[in-house]
Amino acid sequence: MKKKERYEHVINWFETNVPIAVTELRYDNHFHLLIAVILSAQCTDKRVNMITPPLFEAFPTPEVMAEVSVDEIYEYIKSVSYPNNKAKNLLGMAKKLISDFGGKVPDTMEELESIPGVGRKTANVMLSVAFDKPAMAVDTHVFRVSNRIGLTTNSKTPLETERELVKYIPSRLLSIAHHWLILHGRYVCTARSPKCDECGIRQWCQYYMKINGVKSIKKDTTADKD
């Protein structure tokens, strides 16, 4: 099967079966989304959602956060991964928003990446989720699922994965495709013991073909009956 065909089948399946896919992070404005995404690095969305309600209440705006100490922020986020670094980044982020962007979260890759704690993945999440721009954020789930299915070919870095996905996925679908792949990796195509029997796209998956000793899989009318 050619890669273009695989993309077409996979995208069609997700469009039909998962027409709505959104971030599982909870937030109420762009500033709070940025906080949540920064905290979610190497941490589960579930954990982040547990700690953000009091954090958001204490820091409703960048102006409020910029006036406190790193230690004060740390107390709210100490149960996430790397809380010391993240507390420093959150304070630096708030100050940067005020000094350079009038207290607003910017909507370009270059500007977002200039903010402490914001790398390319976080910037892409903000572009797609907050501003509905065509962007593909590649986290561990997207990276793993893309390689496992065969959407990417031996990509070694998140950037290589991003470039290949952007090349084949229509721009109008990039934002939702990001969530399709994340959620699929989180609940079905898990890192350990992927749930292939529950997977609606297994008939186009290179991994599934390999473990079953199949060189190619044609349309299986039973495969969609999950």
| Catalytic residue, candidates 28, 86, 95, 121 | 121
Query: Cα-atom radius of gyration of the chain, to the nearest Å?
Result: 19
89-147, pLDDT tens digit by residue? 999 999 999 999 999 999 999 999 999 999 999 999 999 999 999 999 999 999 999 99
* CATH, residue 45: 1.10.340.30
Tell me which residue of 159, 153, 149 sits closest to 199, measured CA to CA. Answer: 149
Q: How does residue 216 score in pLDDT terms, banded at 50, 70 and 90?
A: low
Looking at the 3D structure of the chain, how many domains does it have?
2
> Does the annotation list 43 as a binding residue?
no
Q: How many residues does the chain have?
A: 226
Residue 226 lies in a domain: no
Residue 218 lies in a domain: no
Q: How does residue 219 score in pLDDT terms, banded at 50, 70 and 90?
A: very low
**Could you tell me if 49 and 97 lie in one domain?**
yes
**Could you tell me if 34 and 111 lie in one domain?**
yes
Please report, for residues 38, 90, 110, 138, the alpha-carbon distance to residue 118 in angstroms, rounded to integers and kept in the order given: 7, 10, 11, 14
Among the candidates 83, 114, 130, a domain finishes at 130
CA terminus-to-terminus distance, the chain: 23
| Catalytic residue, candidates 71, 86, 95, 139 | 139
139 tagged catalytic: yes
44-57, pLDDT tens digit by residue? 999 999 999 999 99
Residue 58 lies in a domain: yes
Q: Are 131 and 137 in contact (CB under 8 A)?
A: no
Residue 216 lies in a domain: no
Q: What is the mean pLDDT of residues 143-159?
A: 94
* CATH, residue 12: 1.10.1670.10
Q: Are 166 and 138 in contact (CB under 8 A)?
A: no
Residue 158 lies in a domain: yes
> Does the annotation list 189 as a binding residue?
yes
- Tell me the residue range of the domain where 200 lies: 3-21+137-211
